[in-house]
């Protein structure tokens, strides 16, 4: 436990925040800092074929130690952290033997992590929790996954009596900005299937995710002196407000759960001359997903008809699709993960991801890739935390999968 904790603390203190506005790979140079550290560490623990490419994809191999053929499998995690919240100067706080009460993250700023609001905290009474100091995110998404994969590989190297086939690992950049799988070389990786260690609470096992698209709605107005504006001014801000109000008010992230889709307005900026709305569109059902995209465009078309000069323009781009279609034909790979969890005395929580992972895009690139818990909670913000015990269990699950696939 101590080794896993120290490894995790080392990783999260390296700022790897990605940038959605930079098309380069990686989108931020600081991701190289963690990549180079991991490059050296993977060599040190005894992995082979350790290679960091020009786009910041780090791959390595744990060779087979058996004399018969089994499928090559892989484990994947991402190095970047969310652009939604700062990861500069992360100062992780350790709370041993959590007592089920409020945790004061930052006394000066009165930032409190409370089970009254985050009720799932109570299931971790007695655990060691790692939290933020209330000023940054933590980075368990997905440095916990990296920690677990490295720790499991190190354990397998140190315990050659555990029989396993060839295992490939990869740490990717830019998952948080939707590009983590774009330049992933599936052929070079050479695995029959893989698992992303990028889920949340202990026990999560996921092979379904949202279909996802982005929508940028641009309203072009006309600024005129307000004293002489009648029949001349076009106030882009007010038209943006009309657009927002035309979409279903209940179909937003904060009012949906499970398989319910949503429209999420995550950015608004502008003035009278020009206002831009940025949405993400999500739905597990492909037909409903297509309907949502159509609804965005139809809302713009309807409002344009009411205006003297059409001034609303929409650009919609698909981002990724539900990997269920690619996983269902090879459901044995989910069953192996489920069995590995049960061997670790973990109750599998098979559920749909209300989001996406590298695994969704990789599955469509020919690498079936279910998602396994990494253990963290409240990602992308100052209330993020992770129980150390969950990281230990995730590491055990990886080892168990290696054992199961390595059986004759």
Active-site residue, from 41, 80, 142, 208: 80
Spell out the long-range contacts of 27-31 with Cβ–Cβ below 8 A and sequence spacing 24 or more: 27/80, 27/173, 27/174, 27/177, 27/179, 28/80, 31/56, 31/79, 31/80, 31/173, 31/174
Nearest one of 147, 62, 23 to 405, comparing CA atoms: 62
Gap between the Cα atoms of 363 and 357, Å rounded: 10
Q: Which position among 19, 175, 206, 396 bears the catalytic label?
A: 175
- Cα–Cα dist 149/396, whole Å: 10
* 175 among known catalytic residues: yes
Question: How far is 147 from 137, CA to CA, in rounded Å?
Answer: 17
Active site includes 24?
no
Stated length of the chain: 408
Nearest to 398 by CA among 350, 337, 353, 356: 337
Residues annotated as part of the active site: 80, 175
């Amino acid at each position: 436990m101590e080794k896993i904790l120290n490894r995790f603390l080392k990783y999260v203190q390296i700022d790897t925040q990605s940038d959605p506005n930079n098309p380069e790979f990686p989108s931020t140079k600081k991701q190289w800092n963690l990549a180079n550290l991991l490059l050296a560490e993977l060599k040190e623990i005894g992995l082979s074929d350790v290679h960091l490419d020009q786009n910041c994809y780090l791959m390595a191999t744990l060779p087979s130690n058996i004399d018969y053929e089994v499928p090559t499998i892989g484990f994947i995690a991402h190095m970047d952290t969310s652009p939604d919240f700062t990861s500069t100067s992360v100062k992780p706080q350790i709370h041993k033997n959590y007592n089920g009460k409020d945790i004061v993250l930052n006394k000066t700023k009165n930032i409190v992590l409370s089970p009254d609001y985050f009720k799932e905290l109570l299931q971790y009474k007695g655990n060691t929790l790692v939290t933020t100091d209330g000023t940054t995110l933590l980075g368990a998404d997905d440095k916990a996954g990296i920690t677990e994969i490295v720790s499991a590989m190190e354990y397998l190297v140190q315990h050659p009596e555990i029989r396993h086939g060839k295992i490939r690992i990869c740490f990717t950049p830019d998952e948080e900005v939707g590009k983590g799988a774009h330049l992933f070389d599936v052929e070079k990786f050479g695995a029959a299937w893989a698992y992303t260690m990028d889920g949340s609470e202990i026990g999560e096992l996921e092979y379904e995710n949202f279909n996802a698209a982005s929508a940028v709605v641009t309203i072009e107005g006309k600024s005129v002196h307000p004293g002489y504006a009648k029949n001349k001014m076009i106030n882009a801000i007010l038209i943006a407000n009309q657009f927002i109000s035309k979409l279903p008010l209940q179909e937003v992230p904060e009012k949906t759960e499970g398989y319910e889709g949503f429209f999420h307005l995550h950015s608004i900026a502008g003035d009278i001359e020009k206002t831009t709305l940025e949405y993400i569109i999500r739905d597990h059902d492909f037909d409903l997903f297509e309907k949502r995209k159509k609804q965005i465009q139809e809302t713009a078309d309807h409002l344009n008809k009411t205006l003297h000069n059409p001034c609303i323009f929409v650009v919609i781009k698909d981002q990724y699709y539900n990997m269920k279609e690619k996983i269902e034909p090879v459901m044995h790979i989910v069953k192996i993960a489920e069995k590995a969890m049960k061997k670790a005395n973990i109750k599998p929580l098979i559920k749909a991801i209300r989001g996406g992972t590298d695994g969704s895009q990789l599955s469509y690139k020919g690498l079936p890739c279910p998602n396994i818990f990494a253990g963290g909670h409240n990602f992308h913000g100052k209330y993020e935390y992770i129980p150390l015990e969950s990281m230990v269990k995730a590491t055990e699950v990886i080892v168990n999968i290696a054992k199961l696939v390595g059986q004759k």
